[in-house]
Amino acid sequence: AEMARVLADSNHVPLHLDVYKRLSLLVHSVSIMHKSLDNMPKDENWQALTRNSTNLRVYIMAFDVKSDDMLRILKPSIPLERIHFDSYVTCVSGAVVDLISRQYDKFLTHFILMNDVIDMSTFPDLSDNRNEDPLVLLAWRCTRLSLLAVHGYTVWAHNLIAIARLRGSDLKVLEVTEESIEFDQGELADQ
């Protein structure tokens, strides 16, 4: 929060942001265990920072961060362009993916979701038995999405097709581990 306040201060020269205008943030479960999330920038800090640096875009890499902690970190005014989740222990929830697709639909271009599970027989399913899959909603809402990579999470084949159709040729990279793709029983009978 202090860094955001200093960078947003009108007495300072705005960040010089040209073609590469990205602020990269690393959030790790180990650092969260030793430091409070109370020091994270609040929404008003992000608003002030983006007022001074309108071209600012943010890249967040989150390693083994619990969904509850991510919900506290992801403020609406972050100009989030790229996010990379990587986990060995914790899994990202569908609620976090849904929040990202609603809050960052104007800027999000890259979404990477990796779960390095040992048991390859069961991957977490973000859809949580809901009618709407959060990844499909992400592809629908985030019109600038050009890269979607999913490894170690269940992706239903019909949802994968929906994602590809929604983004079309604007989606330059769609990367899903073969083991992550699941088929409905009806789909298997049709093949």
Residue 13 pLDDT greater than 80, yes or no: no
Closest CA relative to residue 151, chosen from 72, 92, 82, 79? 92
pLDDT of residue 15: 60
Closest CA relative to residue 147, chosen from 174, 127, 121? 174
Domains of the chain and CATH, by start: 23-182 (3.80.10.10)
Span 105-118, average pLDDT: 90
- How many Å is the Cα radius of gyration of the chain? 18
Span 166-178, average pLDDT: 95
- Cα 41–chain centre separation: 18
- pLDDT, tens digit, for every residue of 52-92? 788 889 999 999 999 899 998 999 999 999 999 998 888 88
CA atoms of 106 and 154, how far apart (whole Å)? 26
Share of the chain above pLDDT 70, in %: 85
Residue 190 pLDDT greater than 60, yes or no: no
64: tokens are 């083994």
CA distances from 175 to 15, 155, 157, 168, 181 (A): 34, 11, 13, 14, 11
| Residues with Cβ within 8 Å of residue 62, at least 6 apart in sequence | 27, 28, 70, 73, 83, 84, 85, 86
- The values of phi and psi at residue 81, to 5°, are -105, -35
Closest CA relative to residue 155, chosen from 174, 185, 135? 135
Span 11-18, average pLDDT: 60
Residue 20 pLDDT greater than 70, yes or no: no
pLDDT of residue 10: 66
pLDDT of residue 126: 86
Across-strand partners of 125? 154
